Structure 1
Amino acid sequence: MTFNLRREEIIEVDQLAALLEHSPGKGAQALLVAAGQQVVEAQVLLGQILLDGRGIEKDPALARRWFAIAAYQGNAMAHNMLGRCLEHGWGAEVDVPGAARHYRAAADLGLDWGLYNYANLLATGRGVVADQAQALACYRQAAEAGHAKSMNLLGRYLEEGVACSADPAQARDWYRRSAEAGDFRGQFSHAAMLVEHGQVEQALPWLEQALSTGNLNFLRRSTPTLEQAGDARLQALAGRYRARLGELQASA
């Protein structure tokens, strides 16, 4: 179906996103029109649905091209998403140094996800020279902007004293804030701190929440930790973590 939309009807990308939610096929068609008329936010959203195959045939290579078009125009999220394509090899070969450049561009524009992704590369030395101090600075900036995953990692740096003086009190606070913001790793970290201070009952609801949304890699790392706990309540919960891990491994 061809959409004869005037430019003033397609500028409101929020409306296009809502249309995409309620009618994926029509929303995708409208996004194609808007992207072709140089609406940058529509180009980014079009790239995302091409990655996901939502309302349109999945095409990572074409998604990557739309992200590149929008990034060339200075869109921060486009830089971030192009970085993800380059890091993970979506639509073409893996190029981690290229990913770092685009994450850095997104970070320089103040995007929390750009700061987080760039910090991850700095922390691990992938695509860039490892720099824990700069990684910490990026995590902190993203955390202060409300990025839940960065809050958890900032807490870890403060707990372990990486590139900074250890500050357990601040670490606990950032773990709590990450947990409350909905990050499952933050929920587990917050729970671990509560357990360490003998507050197992208070920790259990956070561990339940982490279990309900945690991914495969998280469960691979967290399950053995719970299994080694001395408290019977934690060991019982570890059994449920192990069962969920098995489910995710079977479907992977």
Structure 2
Amino acid sequence: MVELGIGVEASFDKARVLYLAAADKGSAKAMNRLGLMHYRGEGVLQDYAAAQELICEAAGKGDADAAFNCAGLFAEGRGVDKDPAKARAWYEKAAAENNIGALNALGFIWRDGLGVEKDPVKAADYFGRAAALGNPVALFELGAMYEAGLGLPPDLMKAHVHYNLAAARQHPGGTEALARVTAGLSAEDVTRAQAEAKAWRVAQ
């Protein structure tokens, strides 16, 4: 609240002191936030090693956002040696808590074979889980997999549904992809696909 100025005067310095106090008491969320400050150089010197220590300690305490961030550090080689296997392991921990970023990251890892043998079926499963939560990136990628028949049976109607949902959530490629598959469907199929998109609901 102090950092964002909610109900009090905003003060980054005071917020940082509070985060430090919370981190000293073992707060994983405070550790993760302090780690991000070091990663970005927000009010402190940019220090990838300090960022990695704080973020991955928070991840070890079970914080899903920290696990996602820790995975990114291993994937990029920031503060640690690049290690795709460790990155994937942390992404999987975050994905187990339905962290959308981690679900999408694993979708791309398995689709593109980033440190693993390509497995489009696994990719579709991860994208499907993130899409069910309403994420536009996952909705678009799942649409692309239905359109190409990659990891899923080819189905232009389902591609239309997912592109439509992605476009409605302002995915930059959604409108163009929607127009492309619309051109390949009958008017009746487009109407059915639109009805399915209208009836779609985010998973609870």
TM-score range (shorter-chain normalised) is: 0.7 to 0.9
Residue identity over aligned pairs, in percent, reads 29
CA separation of 1:55 and 1:201: change in aligned 2, threshold 3 A: farther
TM-fit CA distance, 1:136: 0.6
Contact 1:64 1:85 in 2 (8 A): no
Alignment deviations for residues 71-96 of structure 1 (CA, whole Å, 9 cap, x no partner): 11111111111112222233333222
TM-fit CA distance, 1:228: 8.1
TM-score by length of 2: 0.76
Within the candidate set 220, 231, 243, 2:180 is matched to 231
- 1:51 aligned counterpart, secondary structure: coil
Partner of residue 134, structure 1? 86
Alignment deviations for residues 93-119 of structure 1 (CA, whole Å, 9 cap, x no partner): 322221111111011111111110011
TM-score by length of 1: 0.63
Within the candidate set 198, 202, 220, 2:158 is matched to 202
> Greater relative contact order (Cα 8 A, min sep 6): structure 1 or 2?
2
Please give the alpha-carbon distance, in whole angstroms, between the structure 2 residues aligned to 1:149 and 1:61.
29
RMSD over aligned Cα, in angstroms?
A: 2.5
Please give the alpha-carbon distance, in whole angstroms, between the structure 1 residues aligned to 2:179 and 2:165.
21
Alignment deviations for residues 22-65 of structure 1 (CA, whole Å, 9 cap, x no partner): xxxxxxxxxxxxxxxxxxxxxxxxxxx22222222222222222
Contact 1:107 1:118 in 2 (8 A): yes
Please say which of residues 143-152 and 200-209 is displaced more in the overlay.
200-209
Within the candidate set 113, 125, 131, 2:77 is matched to 125
Partner of residue 165, structure 1? 117
CA separation of 1:203 and 1:59: change in aligned 2, threshold 3 A: farther
How many residues matched?
A: 179
Within the candidate set 170, 174, 180, 2:132 is matched to 180
Structure 2: where are the runs of 5+ without partners? 184-204
CA separation of 1:168 and 1:99: change in aligned 2, threshold 3 A: same
Please give the alpha-carbon distance, in whole angstroms, between the structure 2 residues aligned to 1:203 and 1:115.
31
Please give the alpha-carbon distance, in whole angstroms, between the structure 1 residues aligned to 2:165 and 2:177.
20
TM-fit CA distance, 1:208: 4.2
TM-fit CA distance, 1:230: 8.3
Partner of residue 47, structure 2? 95
- 2:2 aligned counterpart, secondary structure: helix
